[in-house]
Chains A and B, each alone.
Chain A
Amino acid sequence: MGAMESKYSTEDINKIMATWWKTIEKKTQKPTMTIPNMHFTVPTLWGRKKSDPPAPEWPTVFSTIWRSPYTPNSFVPHFNDCVGRAAARTQEYLQFVDPEDKFIPSPTSLNEIFLMTYISQSSRLQMTNSFNCTPMTSQQRILLGADWVWAVLDRPTKNPCIQIAVQILHLPERCGERASGVSPEVCTESMQMAKMESGNRNEAERMVDFCMSIGTDCYALFLLFGRKGDPGNIYGVLSNNFGAAVGKTKINRALIENFFRGSRYLHTPTGMLQAIITKRAGDPLTLLIKFT
């Protein structure tokens, strides 16, 4: 067999190889992974391709292993993710200013934006088996005063062992109505009946009564969508001890705002949940929280 001969001379081949090599070197390496300091060219178990739509952060296989829902209190960082995302999104709308000063998002819309964002994220993170969120029906919002109830679930029974009843408070200038969705045009007969059942107590008092009827493992959280002097941030006052004020003073927005006077320390949502979980049963607990 004779040797194969190239139509190019050795010198030409060297030139061609050099040109080709330069072409390769000039090609930019496209990182397709989002893991810091690591670049892969194919989608892998560790995460999504960078070219994927950026919006939803789907849990990756390893993130769900690292944050296994079956370890105690593993929902705490998840809760922080969910509530942080919900607060940030709500804040965008809270800070919206119509240049013509005609359009103002309704309190009900803001409530729904917060809750929808929270629920979407919590179901993505698959945390609802250990920490769930139950939005109240329109009747329940009137009867119990809460907009929704968060609950830490007991593992085997899935019964709530700790609950946080949440009521959103809006700045008075933002709404004539309380944001429970009770505007005259949607006032149904059922809601009328619910109002009759709940007597003369205001909504804050109804929620405190509801929490007291359950016990010290049920907390009332008043979520302030804006405070006087700081309308664009979201704060909270959480307590299982509002009962101490019942009969002595009216529980209303003014009382809730008063908690912030002179207080320096504000908890994070994670800090709030950790304080609740690590607290000794029966002890009173009152916290101020900043959500944004």
Chain B
Amino acid sequence: MQMAATQKESSDQNFDYMFKLLIIGNSSVGKTSFLFRYADDSFTSAFVSTVGIDFKVKTVYKNDKRIKLQIWDTAGQERYRTITTAYYRGAMGFILMYDITNEESFSCVQDWSTQIKTYSWDNAQVILAGNKCDMEEERVVSVDNGRMLAEQLGFDFFETSAKDNINVKQTFERLVDLICDKMSDSLETDPAVTTGTPNARLTDNPPPLQQPNCGC
């Protein structure tokens, strides 16, 4: 099984666009679980704190285009802040996550938003996600408060559950849509972009990988 999965991943090297996305937020809000649910459709309730940074890759299709999502899972603890913020650069989208059962994680959303503004580029798209919405009995942050804060910050908003698979796919799909819309806007306002690589204007990064050779 392991070998089959590896071969599948190794062979999956054709794509039209590559989007770099980051999941950020306080420790233990469920960032890693959210990513595992989306990328592997798996969930475990055991909490393992992420060390530094990690990522997974998932390919999605939109308008007959293959979009490769490089999704970075960041550690929420303060001690990793230097290393995690180094990866903000070049990110096209963020999922800013809090835990609806943890008031402090919600209070920190404003600080995380400032981090995005400080270390990322202006056109980065952000979705605010209130995770663990399956734990209604322990809820301390109302849906209205979440939505209101998202509006204030200019972000889209979802309440999600990695455990019960609620709004996980939708959150990523919405983020991809927002990035594509932003790309289209950029192409319209700056036609010169069309002569370049598809995401040249959006990422400030090297052009997307095309048929890269395994250099490991």
Contacts and interface: CB of A to CB of B under 8 A. Distances in A.
Nearest to A144: B52
A140 B216 contact: no
A137 B54 contact: yes
B142 interface: no
Interface residues of B, number: 27
Contact of B13 (A137, A158, A189): A189
A114 B189 CA distance: 58
A46 B165 CA distance: 48
A192 B54 CA distance: 13
Nearest to B87: A197
Interface residues of A, number: 31
A140 B82 CA distance: 16
A215 B83 CA distance: 11
Interface string B77-120: 10110110010000000000000000000000000000000000
Given A137-B54, A193-B57, A188 B83 contact: no
Contact of B9 (A144, A183, A184, A190): A190
Interface in A182-216: 182-184, 186-196, 210, 213-215
Interface string A134-149: 1011011001101001
A214 B216 contact: no
Contacts, number: 73
A159 B48 contact: no
Interface string A20-57: 00000000000000000000000000000000000000
A136 B51 contact: yes
Interface string B189-216: 0000000000000000000010010111
B56 interface: yes
Contact of A189 (B12, B49, B79, B82): B12
A57 B70 CA distance: 44
Interface of B: 6, 9-10, 12-13, 27, 48-49, 51-57, 70, 77, 79-80, 82-83, 86, 209, 212, 214-216
Interface of A: 134, 136-137, 139-140, 143-144, 146, 149, 158-160, 182-184, 186-196, 210, 213-215, 218
30 contacts: A134-B48, A136-B51, A139-B54, A140-B52, A143-B52, A143-B54, A158-B49, A159-B77, A160-B49, A160-B77, A184-B214, A184-B216, A186-B6, A187-B214, A188-B9, A189-B10, A189-B12, A189-B13, A190-B9, A190-B55, A191-B216, A193-B55, A193-B70, A194-B55, A196-B209, A213-B82, A213-B86, A214-B79, A214-B80, A214-B83
Given A143-B53, A189-B12, A214-B83, 14 more contacts: A134-B48, A140-B51, A143-B54, A146-B51, A158-B49, A182-B216, A188-B6, A189-B10, A189-B13, A190-B55, A190-B57, A191-B216, A192-B214, A214-B82
